[in-house]
Amino acid sequence: MKQSVSIGVIGTGMWGEDHLGCLKTDERVRVSWLCDRDAARLDAAMRKFNVPNGARDYREMLKDTTLDAVIIATPPFTHATMAIDVMRAGKHVLVEKPMVHSRADMRRLLLEAARYPRLVRLDASFRSTRTQPKFTFIKNLIDSGVLGKVYHIHHSMMSPTMLCDRNPQAGWAIQRKFAGGGPSLNWGGYDLSFHLGLLGDKPRLKSLRSIARPGLRDIQRPGYVCDVEQHFAAFMEFTGGLTYYYERGESAHCIAGSETQIHGTKAGLKFNYLEWESYDIEFFSPGMQGTGPTERKIITVDRGDKPENCNILPLRHFVDCIQGNARPIMPLTLAAKHLDILFKIVGQGRKR
């Protein structure tokens, strides 16, 4: 096994920089290449993170036979072509979420990825979901049977801002042809990764009914047209008798925190799954001791030695997989299952 892993990062924008900061914390990693088509951004990142090689065209870095792996942190419409080229060059790949922006790209990426079973091919949507203590804790609780059979999931969040408000240079995030969607593709991979993962990824979508509304807030970014959905809601039926009500807004006219409810036949849970929010889980069980029909207790999840930055553990997982010490938590095929649901929600919802 190689002691040190040589990594290249494509995209030195907001999230590429976050990756670089996190990779510095892993002694096993040597970041040997950076790529960004924006020369000034590339140059600044190379100096800030002391990276020896830079390219404006990622195909130049792929020629380096000593490079082991590549992280793709560019806008979604670029992901499929880049990931395919990376795998063809024999390098392991971690693709930022959303893995792709369209069904056509999803098909060609999966087809190509199947040809390289020896390479690690990871999607990043397990970031604030499966590598965090809340996920493991809640999954163990469900697996213990204390909730009975989980028959319904309810998840909603209404945020006043979109990605381009937090990251002004991400004008691409407001236009479908570059981003694929609004809150659906920006958050949906995380949401479905967390919730369906709690049930061991067994439920499969049977049907859904949805709305998806664009045009609620006009956002101007030079060179881009704002046409992504800003609010969607879906009622879904899955195999195994599970139903799931799922709603998200970014720039709809309401603000509400992230809340998940898990309804079981014996007990229920309410929590905010986001990694940086409360670690208190509300547990509801049939009432005892005269407190009414339902009793509520708070269980606080132990954070253990979880690092502050939610991006550190997923990157460690990528390196673990490359070194043969772990199996990919979020293979591209599983990310595709989630994206397929999201494309259906938005596709059907926009017709209403």
Ligand X SMILES: NC(=O)c1ccc[n+]([C@@H]2O[C@H](COP(=O)([O-])OP(=O)(O)OC[C@H]3O[C@@H](n4cnc5c(N)ncnc54)[C@H](O)[C@@H]3O)[C@@H](O)[C@H]2O)c1
> 242-281: which residues touch ligand X (CB under 6 A)?
none
- Residue nearer to ligand X on the CB measure, 96 or 105: 96
| Cβ-proximal residue to ligand X, closest one | 13
What are 53's two structure tokens? Answer: 């090689």
Question: With binding defined as CB under 6 A, does residue 156 bind ligand X?
Answer: no
**Cβ atoms of residues 272 and 157 within 8 Å:** no
- Residue nearer to ligand X on the CB measure, 150 or 274: 274
Q: Mark the segment that binds ligand X (CB under 6 A) among 7-15, 149-157, 328-336, 344-352.
A: 7-15
Instruction: State the minimum distance, in angstroms, from the CB of residue 132 to ligand X.
Output: 15
Among 7, 9, 13, 205, binds ligand X (CB under 6 A): 13
Give the DSSP letter of residue 212.
E
CA distances (Å), origin 241, targets 209, 238, 244, 265, 334? 16, 6, 10, 12, 21
Query: Quick one: which of 30, 47, 49 has its CA closest to 39?
Result: 47
Among 91, 92, 97, 176, binds ligand X (CB under 6 A): 97
- Judged by CB under 6 A, how many residues of this single chain contact ligand X? 23
**Cβ atoms of residues 248 and 183 within 8 Å:** yes
Using CA atoms, how far apart are residues 125 and 238, in angstroms rounded to an integer? 21
Q: Mark the segment that binds ligand X (CB under 6 A) among 14-22, 105-113, 140-148, 317-325.
A: 14-22
Instruction: State the minimum distance, in angstroms, from the CB of residue 100 to ligand X.
Output: 10
Position 290: which residue type? G
> 18-47: which residues touch ligand X (CB under 6 A)?
35-38, 41
Q: Is 222 exposed, middle or buried (0-12, 13-18, 19+ CB in 10 A)?
A: exposed
Instruction: State the minimum distance, in angstroms, from the CB of residue 56 to ligand X.
Output: 7
Give the DSSP letter of residue 169.
T
Position 130: which residue type? R
Among 16, 197, 264, 268, binds ligand X (CB under 6 A): 16
Instruction: State the minimum distance, in angstroms, from the CB of residue 167 to ligand X.
Output: 5
Sheet strand arrangement including 69-72 = 53-55, 29-35, 5-10, 69-72, 92-95, 121-123
Position 349: which residue type? G
Q: Residue 258: in which H helix or E strand, if any?
A: strand 256-264
Site string for ligand X, 57-96 (x = CB under 6 A): -x--------------xxxx-x-----------------x
Among 25, 140, 161, 167, binds ligand X (CB under 6 A): 167
User: Using CB under 6 A as the criterion, which residues of the chain lie in contact with ligand X when the complex forms?
Assistant: 10-16, 35-38, 41, 58, 73-76, 78, 96-97, 167, 169-170
